[in-house]
A and B are shown apart, each in its own frame.
Chain A
Amino acid sequence: ETGVTQSPTHLIKTRGQQVTLRCSSQSGHNTVSWYQQALGQGPQFIFQYYREEENGRGNFPPRFSGLQFPNYSSELNVNALELDDSALYLCASIKKRSGGPLTDTQYFGPGTRLTVL
């Protein structure tokens, strides 16, 4: 058990719809990263939030957006869903030292399986 929870566990949407996925970080962890894992692939970094601000982004379009709340929980929002957005979405929480690079390990949640029809 990593102490990181995600909801929902599964979700089915249709093309063009919007989706919100949620993540609760491990207690005391102030940083959350989101990853997309397509079937048969390794996870791909979407973006990271540190102290409620985006702190690094991978190669994903602006229709992928996020939020981090004062309690360090987080949301991933995807607008205008496409078929290729079907994937397992993982969040990972870290306790990051102020202003410094990542030195602590990232603990992953179980993921949300999104299917776009």
Chain B
Amino acid sequence: GQQLNQSPQSMFIQEGEDVSMNCTSSSIFNTWLWYKQEPGEGPVLLIALYKAGELTSNGRLTAQFGITRKDSFLNISASIPSDVGIYFCAGLSYNTDKLIFGTGTRLQVFP
């Protein structure tokens, strides 16, 4: 099935560092979403973006909806151990309810 390209695939960082990850698609999306998934849990919504160029923050998280509508970025500032998990982007096209997920970025934070 279709999946969006997410990079990097994994990150190993020290507590306090900033993190950046991105997601690209060959198709245009009208909505971009970022989720975090921890072991044994379903994805939890972090940020939703609804307009090209939109920049939205949620605490230490900031995400942007790319101008071309084919990409999105997520930044985490001053990482902490509880940021550990897998981060997924997901795109939603106009007039469809089908979320297309990225391949995921696994984040490890060392104290």
Contacts and interface: CB of A to CB of B under 8 A. Distances in A.
B43 A48 contact: no
Nearest to A43: B101
Interface stretch (B12-20, B54-62, B88-96): B88-96
Nearest to B104: A42
Interface in B60-107: 88, 90, 92, 94-104
A45 B99 contact: yes
A106 B6 CA distance: 21
A101 B97 contact: yes
Secondary structure at the A interface, as helix, strand, loop or mixed, is: loop
A73 B22 CA distance: 35
Interface in A47-102: 48, 55-56, 58-59, 90, 92, 94, 96, 101-102
A44 interface: yes
A42 B1 CA distance: 10
B42 A111 contact: yes
B33 interface: yes
Nearest to A101: B95
A45 to B, nearest CB: 5
Contacts of B88: 42-43
A88 B61 CA distance: 27
B74 to A, nearest CB: 14
11 contacts: A48-B98, A56-B96, A90-B42, A90-B43, A101-B94, A101-B95, A102-B97, A105-B33, A107-B45, A110-B41, A111-B42
Interface of B: 1, 3-4, 6, 33, 35, 40-45, 48, 88, 90, 92, 94-104
